[in-house]
Structure 1
Amino acid sequence: MKTLRINAGAYEPFTDSNGNVWMPDQGFAGGATIEREPDTIIRETRDRPLFLTERYAMDSFTWKLPNGKYIAKLYFAETFEGIYGPGNRVFSFTVQGQEFKNFDIWEAAGGPYIAYIETVPVEVTDGQFRIDFVSQIENPAINAIEIIPQTSAQASAGDRRASLHGDSLTPDGIFTFGEPPAGFRTVRDNIARGQVETIEYDSETVGTRRRMLVYTPPGYSTERKYPVLYLLHGIGGDETEWQRFCTPNVILDNLIAYGKAEPMIIVMPNGRAQKNDRAEGNVFATAPAFAAFENDLLKDVIPAIEARYSVIADRQYRALAGLSMGGGQSLNFGLGNLDVFAWVGGFSSAPNTKAPVELVPDPAKAKEQLRLLYLSCGDQDGLFRISRNLHEYLKENQVPHIWNTSGHGHDATEWGNNLYFFVQYLFR
């Protein structure tokens, strides 16, 4: 199966910076086309001409495709001079039945003349791919549509979607999401907010009471049950590190408000399983306590959370991810306990990460059990080879995964950005 690429509003084929050929406008029902001035500047893309034409006021897009799983990518940029800010153009659309309500290009991209890609994993079961558009404020508009067979893309585990900014798939199949939209970690006054609290639990593993931070989403209620993401810190941190450096609560509040992430609970425990679990003195000497945390997580932390909060106690609704030392823990513990976790992520994973063949000794079993395996690391990080080597092993053994690289180092920007991307895939 070949990738389908449609340049909406165009009258001639377009060859992008990777050598891919985009067909001119076709497949739409209703609406009209327009072309912007050729010197119009579009940020966050290497393929500016792709965003200078658009189809607007359309009712639908359809295309005959073989049955199977695909990655659908919808390309947008707000270039109409009559749009002065967020809220001036709002519309809804469904992609193979997956609904996107109150979509605002300006809001999603972080401003005008900025390339933005909405990425949606889909399945075709009746030989036809379909998008339906509904006008609300101003007309719906789109610049391009790309439909990639999932055998061609790394992101092929589970039914999920993420909003990706700029150019997002290299010829090697490596996802490079770029930077999240401006303001993704800014507290917004016009949305509901979740809560972060510090709780204590009895750890039989360590033999003491221990602390962890817990985020509950906006409108948390015992009348419904929630999935849970367990989020692990690095060797120099503790249970507060994620909240201090990356504000997961703000990221989730904003994503949930716009329907881009499922309401979920986030648990931030202390991954240093020893009585004095503070990040003091020679933190590298505490490495054995990070390995011992596996038992604390499985036997003490998860039972404590499931006893205290209204959660779905099932592997399909448990995710495990972490940064640096916590990334290594997440890969070791998550892939080693796929009967407990179906969603696993490692951000800038540290040298505690097991060898690829130890992490995934049975690729066929991993493919069957994993809903998502997400790897990320900045190419300026001295630990880059750890994540890259795992990616190459997974690719060689055809284990579906996301491998997101960036120009960052071993830093909080890298971790916050990847948390933003990762959570949009979870529990969908």
Structure 2
Amino acid sequence: MKRLLTLLAACIAACAATAQSRIETFTFRSALLGAEKTCSVYLPAGYDDSGRSYPVLYLLHGASGYHGDWAEKGNMRQIADEAIAAGTALPMIVVMPDASGTGENYTGDRMGYFDVPGWPYERFFFEEFVPAVERRYRICGDKARRAISGLSMGGGGTAVYALRHPELFGSACPMSGLLEAYGDPGENAFRRSVAENNPVQMVRDLSDAEAAAQRTVRWWVDCGDDDFLALANIHFYEAMRLRDIPLQYRMRDGGHTWRYWQTALHDILAFVSVGFAE
């Protein structure tokens, strides 16, 4: 009897372990980039046993970062687990891509979400990365259940990607986004790419048909009142309102910090879950 109870306890413990969420890495070789790229992937509790498909949030890191930032600095697994357990967010897969540079602290060459000479990252993201991830994991793969968000440089990538591909994303949520060019780009490839992919100017330049397409995206923009990018985010809000594109805009107490982005993530998980459920 004692042995049977021990085996039963072990089985229960094993089941509990398999029911936990986890973050794993996925690496594959890109033909476009001629290099291997790795992403971090959050799988919700029960993913292995459910057999069903899940909505997906692409969650982008900022400059001087890499695909592990949201897990290591942003506490995203605990935030997602708590939101799902509380019922404020739906179980979802969260994919954290890598747009790091080759230099010290992940800066320098190849940093960023846009194409630069010799490094077509944006093409890679849409032509190789998203298809590879959505083949590997049980992802629903339709617009309504695909969302994108990101902080700082990743907020700029979020805005540009959704502006260019409203047919792919049901929700787009820049956090403290790099939404305008800053400084003199000079010979800096990253700054030039930011100047050439300016979300505020992109919104101003939308045709009537393109603006109508943006109204099919659920927009949420969040930036702290002490953030050095606050004015750029206000300009984005103004440009969107002038084009009659609805968005939820939040300016809360805080700056360009991980503490701020952690609190923002709670709200964003709830916001995208409403879109997933519609």
What TM-score bracket applies, with the shorter chain setting the length?
Answer: 0.7 to 0.9
1:354 matched to 2:230? The reply is no
Deviation string 1:340-390 (CA, Å, 9 cap, x unpaired) is 1121111111243614241461322211x21x1111111111111111101
Identity %: 29
Partner residue, 1:283 = 107
Higher helix share: 2
1:365 matched to 2:213? The reply is yes
Whether the aligned pair in 1 keeps the contact of 2:156 and 2:199 (CA below 8 Å) is no
Whether the aligned pair in 1 keeps the contact of 2:203 and 2:240 (CA below 8 Å) is no
1:298 matched to 2:126? The reply is yes
Whether the aligned pair in 2 keeps the contact of 1:201 and 1:210 (CA below 8 Å) is yes
Q: 3-state DSSP class of the match of 2:73? A: helix
Deviation of 1:241 after TM superposition, in Å, equals 1.0
- TM-score, with normalisation over the residues of structure 1? 0.51
1:387 matched to 2:214? The reply is no
Which residue of 165, 170, 179 corresponds with 1:337? 165
Q: 3-state DSSP class of the match of 1:406? A: coil
Q: Give the 5 Å matches for 1:189-338.
A: 193-220=20-47, 221=49, 223-272=51-100, 277-278=101-102, 280=104, 283=107, 286-287=110-111, 289-292=112-115, 293-338=121-166
Cα separation, 2, equivalents of 1:231 and 1:359: 22
Which deviates more, 340-349 or 393-402?
Answer: 393-402
Partner residue, 1:114 = none
Cα separation, 2, equivalents of 1:325 and 1:397: 24
Q: Give the 5 Å matches for 1:86-105.
A: none
Cα separation, 2, equivalents of 1:222 and 1:302: 22
- TM-score, with normalisation over the residues of structure 2? 0.77
* AA aligned opposite 1:227: P
Whether the aligned pair in 2 keeps the contact of 1:235 and 1:284 (CA below 8 Å) is no
Deviation of 1:199 after TM superposition, in Å, equals 1.5
Which 5+ residue runs of structure 2 have no aligned equivalent? 1-15, 116-120, 182-193
Whether the aligned pair in 1 keeps the contact of 2:64 and 2:106 (CA below 8 Å) is no
Greater relative contact order structure (CA < 8 Å, 6+ sep): 2
Which 5+ residue runs of structure 1 have no aligned equivalent? 1-188
Deviation of 1:264 after TM superposition, in Å, equals 0.4
Q: 1:344 to 1:282 in 2, by over 3 A?
A: closer
Cα separation, 1, equivalents of 2:70 and 2:174: 14
Whether the aligned pair in 1 keeps the contact of 2:203 and 2:239 (CA below 8 Å) is no
Deviation of 1:283 after TM superposition, in Å, equals 2.0
Deviation string 1:191-249 (CA, Å, 9 cap, x unpaired) is x6311011112212211221110000011146211011111111100011111111111
Higher strand share: 1
Cα separation, 2, equivalents of 1:299 and 1:343: 20
Deviation of 1:400 after TM superposition, in Å, equals 1.1
